[in-house]
């Protein structure tokens, strides 16, 4: 390498020095002694770039948006791990010490309190988890899922979502034609109490209730988690996994091994509908049913304690199926316009979410039921006059709240048209029905779209609609519960073809009609009868005091070719009608409106009705939401939110008392803070058995 070094010229004149300096930048110098190398060519040396006087420094690389994002994510991760380290390093009693220093001594957990009162385990307990809260694990997968055998794809840390998102979406999706496993993929529910005790590390679902039941003597042999694949339609859980048969066998085993004591069943969220289906299935004759006979429920079930039950569906399900969003996602879109719609790393977020969730038949079980009879029409709704400005006062926990005294304040409020569950434009949502010009979409020609060839592998049925079909949907202007099912048939025909084979959304005329023996009606409380079990009790426990989605203002998306063509109009606001960020809200638990959670126990099943011919006693227990006093309380012990209520001390105490043998009357009967009884009276639903009319000759 020494021969390549630059030699200092000898006896150079000042001119040659100046010339050498000029030629030094970007060129190789010739040896000063003029000698050629052995090949007869001038010997060249690598140039050394010398910094000239006054020369500008080289430009620094530009700081891109991607760099900012990476640094931002890195800072969040470092902060998170630091906080996690500090949390694990602190003494276990420190959070309780700080909380007690701020708020005073904490009350005993319900299990400890009731153990001091002498309560002991009595009736076996069966938990029925809801949608998305149960863990799912991989048993067979594609090549991209190598090494994930029996690892959780849903629940736990969700690590595979970040490591291989497209592979995860592929394995979490079901077959779009059958609603069952795609070829070469088997994802199955986790079994045991661990299936749904925690949704993710630190985020409890059933864990707090299980721990408090254990305080009074419950253990694994007296508790059973009825885990199932919540993606499947209810009947398909039996077809593929024989889950309904397993639940039947386990309940029979619990009764037999616990001295003949009947079980207390505790379903949560969609698990409420799943167990309603089970009670019809178990008594129906084989092969469609379980063949248990008409008195199986009477012999094996003491009480069904429903928590946050969407008996009549939830409007939130419509927003999810229609545009893959709800209030939270709509707000996120408003804060970061275009972020969720962009093709980031070739992963179109909402489109993939829609493609995946539309293969889950269970989501269609929560489409609003009862049509306009329950949810209202263009000009009326049961919640008419609802006010979001009035504060709810804490009332006696053992008495029904006095609802009549609040009517004066409510009537002064500007009323929203809650019956218009979807409206295209705020002006349409507020206009008189006579002023709305609507063009029926049902017979519209969908046309063609170029999206199928330009959107890679992201498939939604909107790509098959064409721009003419999208325009037809918007020109119908507003949709009530009666027309929503037709709307979903129009925008997602494959999905709804599967859905309507397993679920129904109407109100039964004559329940003696043989068609109601089909399993598609079993999870609809308005199209089926409760079991003949007069000694059984049914409870509806749910939170109130939180704004809950009831209706939506939509607009057309400006980027309709590759993105979802409709989205919630987050610019629509009106405090007087509880409209915020394009969402009309009513009272509820943030997911299930009071009307859906409470109507059946308040009116539909109250006393002997055609839906409850044996007169099973029904009770409503509402829990007014109170946020945690400080951050160290976590999700709080007085929460009324849809999942957080599972840690509500008052609810847990009620559940334990029922499991230990208390009746609804011993609990104090109904406990109501909302106006569920008033709203139920606004619904004109036939409750007496219809007398068949025979035509005369």
Q: Provide the annotated active-site residues.
A: 269, 589, 642
Contact 488, 315 (CB under 8 A): no
Phi-psi group of 194: left, alpha or beta (phi > 0 → left; psi -120 to 50 → alpha; rest → beta): alpha
Phi, psi of 618, deg, nearest 5: -120, 145
Distance of CA 39 to the CA centre of its chain: 79
Joined together, the tokens standing for residue 661 give 């043998």
Which H, E and C letters describe 597-612, residue by residue? HHHHHHHHCCCCECCE
Q: How far apart are CA 350 and CA 212, in angstroms?
A: 39
Q: How far apart are CA 521 and CA 147, in angstroms?
A: 41
Joined together, the tokens standing for residue 622 give 């509402």
Q: Which residues of 580-595 are buried (b: 16+ CB within 10 A; e: fewer)?
A: bbbbbbbbbbbbbbbb
User: Count of residues for the chain?
Assistant: 697
Contact 650, 622 (CB under 8 A): no
Joined together, the tokens standing for residue 653 give 């105490």
Q: Is the peptide bond before 287 cis (omega within 30 degrees of 0)?
A: yes
Nearest 5°: the CA angle 280, 493, 326 is 80
The continuous run of DSSP H or E covering 546 comes out as strand 546-556
Q: How far apart are CA 87 and CA 416, in angstroms?
A: 46
Nearest to 471 by CA among 430, 429, 441: 441
Q: What is the DSSP letter of 510?
A: -
Phi-psi group of 34: left, alpha or beta (phi > 0 → left; psi -120 to 50 → alpha; rest → beta): left
Which H, E and C letters describe 89-128, residue by residue? HCCCCHHHHHHHHHHCCCCCCHHHHHHHCCCCCCCCEEEE
Q: Three-state SS for 422?
A: strand
Nearest 5°: the CA angle 360, 363, 365 is 125
Nearest to 409 by CA among 676, 675, 625: 675
**Could you tell me where the DSSP H helices lie in 446-567?**
451-454, 466-475, 481-491, 493-502
């Amino acid at each position: 390498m020494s021969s390549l070094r630059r030699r200092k010229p000898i006896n150079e004149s000042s001119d040659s020095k100046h010339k050498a300096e000029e030629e030094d930048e970007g060129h190789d110098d010739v040896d000063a002694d003029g000698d050629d190398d052995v090949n007869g060519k001038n010997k060249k040396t690598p140039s050394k770039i010398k910094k000239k006087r006054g020369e500008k420094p080289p430009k620094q690389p530009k700081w891109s948006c991607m760099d900012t994002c990476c640094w931002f994510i890195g800072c969040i991760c470092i902060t998170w791990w630091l906080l996690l380290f500090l949390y694990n390093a602190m003494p276990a009693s420190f959070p309780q010490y700080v909380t007690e220093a701020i708020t005073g001594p904490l009350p005993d957990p319900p299990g400890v309190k009731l153990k001091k009162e002498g309560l002991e385990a009595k009736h076996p307990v069966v938990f029925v988890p809801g949608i998305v809260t149960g863990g799912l694990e991989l048993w067979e997968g594609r090549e991209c899922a190598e090494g994930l055998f029996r690892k959780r794809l849903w629940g736990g840390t969700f690590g595979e979502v970040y490591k291989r998102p497209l592979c995860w979406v592929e394995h979490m999706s079901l077959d779009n034609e059958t609603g069952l496993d795609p070829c070469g993929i088997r994802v199955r529910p986790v079994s045991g109490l661990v299936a749904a005790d925690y949704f993710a590390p630190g985020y409890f679902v059933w864990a707090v209730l299980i721990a408090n039941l254990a305080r009074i003597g419950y253990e694994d042999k007296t508790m059973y988690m009825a885990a199932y694949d919540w993606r499947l339609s209810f009947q398909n859980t039996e077809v593929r996994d024989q889950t309904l048969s397993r639940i039947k066998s386990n309940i029979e085993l619990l009764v037999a091994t616990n001295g003949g004591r009947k079980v207390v069943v505790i379903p949560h969220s969609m698990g409420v509908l799943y167990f309603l289906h089970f009670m019809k299935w178990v008594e129906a004759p084989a092969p469609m049913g379980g063949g248990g006979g008409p008195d199986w429920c009477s012999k094996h079930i003491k009480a069904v304690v429903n928590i946050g039950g969407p008996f009549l569906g939830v409007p939130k399900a419509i927003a999810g199926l229609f545009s893959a969003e709800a209030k939270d996602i709509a707000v996120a879109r408003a804060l970061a316009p275009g972020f969720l719609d962009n093709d980031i790393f070739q992963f179109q977020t909402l489109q993939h979410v829609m493609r995946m969730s539309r293969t889950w038949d269970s989501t269609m079980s929560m489409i609003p039921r009862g049509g306009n009879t329950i949810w209202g029409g263009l000009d009326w709704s049961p919640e008419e006059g609802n006010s979001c400005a009035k504060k709810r006062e804490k009332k006696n926990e053992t008495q029904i709240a006095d609802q009549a005294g609040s009517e004066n304040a409510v009537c002064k409020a500007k009323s929203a048209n809650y019956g218009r569950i979807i409206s295209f434009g705020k002006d349409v949502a507020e206009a008189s029905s006579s002023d709305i010009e609507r063009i029926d979409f049902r017979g519209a020609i969908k046309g063609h779209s170029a999206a199928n060839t330009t959107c890679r592998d992201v498939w939604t049925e909107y790509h098959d609609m064409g721009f003419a079909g999208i325009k037809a949907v918007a020109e119908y202007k507003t949709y009530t519960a009666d027309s929503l099912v037709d709307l979903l048939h129009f925008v997602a025909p494959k999905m709804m073809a599967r859905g309507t084979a397993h679920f129904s959304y109407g109100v039964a005329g004559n329940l003696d009609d043989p068609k109601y023996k089909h399993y598609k009606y079993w999870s609809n409380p308005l199209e089926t009868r409760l079991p003949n079990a007069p000694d059984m009790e049914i409870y509806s426990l749910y939170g109130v005091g939180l704004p809950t989605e009831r209706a939506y203002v939509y607009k057309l998306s400006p980027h309709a070719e590759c993105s979802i063509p409709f989205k919630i109009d987050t610019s629509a606001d009106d405090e007087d009608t509880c409209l915020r960020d394009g969402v009309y809200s009513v009272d509820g638990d943030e997911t299930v409106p009071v009307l859906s959670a409470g109507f059946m126990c308040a009116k539909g099943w109250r006393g002997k009705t055609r839906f409850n011919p044996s007169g099973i006693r029904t009770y409503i227990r509402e829990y007014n939401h109170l946020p945690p006093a400080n951050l160290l309380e976590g999700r709080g012990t007085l929460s009324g939110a849809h999942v957080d209520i599972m840690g509500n001390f008052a609810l847990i105490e009620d559940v334990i008392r029922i499991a230990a043998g208390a009746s609804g009357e011993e609990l104090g009967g109904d406990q109501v803070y909302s106006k569920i009884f008033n709203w139920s009276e606004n619904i004109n639903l036939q409750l007496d058995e219809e007398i068949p009319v025979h035509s005369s000759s």
